[in-house]
Chains A and B, each alone.
Chain A
Amino acid sequence: MFRLLEESGFTRVKSAVVPGFAFKKESTRNSAEAYGVKAVMMTALKA
């Protein structure tokens, strides 16, 4: 998503992991961990 924002013309793209995010069900949480799934905050500007 970070790369797509830049390729779409956005500048100053910044991201950080959302603290406190987790899937509720253990099975989903385990799958998410295996795939490196996380929630992120992203900001960017249109020049």
Chain B
Amino acid sequence: MEPEQYQATLEGVLKEEILRMYQEVAENPDGDFHFHHGRDAAERFHYPSEWLDAVPTGAVASFGGVGNPHLRAALTPGETVMDLGSGAGLDAILAARQVAPEGRVLGVEMNPIMMEKAAAHAREAGVAVEWLAGTMEAIPADDASVDVILSNGVINLSFRKRRVMEEMHRVLKPGGRISITDIVSAKQLSQSIVNDPKLWAS
């Protein structure tokens, strides 16, 4: 197999595993995963209890982030916020409360089942979020249309991180900002890890 073909095949397999794993978190929040999730994780990352209490239980139980991007986002009413990789919707819902009433929140998600869950959670929370089906490597938004991008634990899953950064830069307005939490590695991961969909998705 040619290297490009191998890379494309590996990316496809990994994408499927990522979709499967995070969907499993949403559908089976009591399951045993490599990472902390749900309310336990959110409280570890200092999401205020009163915020979590005011969000649908399902959105909190399915939370799979690796930190709290709200801590440094400094969202203000009226801003347009994008949650890149919105999962079950917790960060988007919390953002919508902070930028209301005139602000907008766009949730970008590649998994249609997760997006449906997130939309249901937002309706239950009584907040308006615009859900956009798409990937972080090809963000479905106009140039210079967003004030703030939030992202929580998803960029590390991409094989094309440079492309993700360029896309974030493209959709931000001049003066716009990002507040992301994610996983980084000080050393190059071994090929055995890169080639293992379950480890990569973790």
Contact A45 B183 (CB under 8 A): no
Residues of B close to A44: CB separation below 8 A: 177-178
Contact B174 A46 (CB under 8 A): yes
Does B122 reach chain A (CB closer than 8 Å)?
no
Given A43-B72, A46-B175, check contact A36 B185 (CB 8 Å): yes
Size class of the contact patch on chain B? 35 or more
Does B180 reach chain A (CB closer than 8 Å)?
yes
Contact of A1 among B72, B176, B184, B193 (CB under 8 A): B184
Does B20 reach chain A (CB closer than 8 Å)?
no
Residues of B close to A35: CB separation below 8 A: 185-187, 189, 193
Interface 0/1 of A19-44, CB less than 8 Å to B:
01111110010010011111111111
Contact B35 A41 (CB under 8 A): no
Does B123 reach chain A (CB closer than 8 Å)?
no
CA distance A23 to B36 in the complex (A): 7
Q: Counting chain A CB atoms within 10 Å of each CB, which of B66, B165, B166, B187 scores highest?
A: B165
CA distance A19 to B78 in the complex (A): 30
Contact A5 B165 (CB under 8 A): yes
Does B169 reach chain A (CB closer than 8 Å)?
yes
Contact B186 A47 (CB under 8 A): no
CA distance A28 to B200 in the complex (A): 11
CA distance A2 to B35 in the complex (A): 23
Contact B162 A28 (CB under 8 A): no
CA distance A35 to B175 in the complex (A): 35
Does B85 reach chain A (CB closer than 8 Å)?
no
Among residues of A, the one whose C-beta sits closest to the C-beta of B202 is A28
In the assembled complex, 8 residue pairs joining A and B whose CB atoms fall closer than 8 Å, in A order, are A1-B161, A23-B202, A39-B66, A39-B67, A42-B182, A43-B177, A46-B172, A46-B174
4 shortest interchain CB distances as A-B pairs: A36-B186, A8-B165, A18-B67, A20-B44
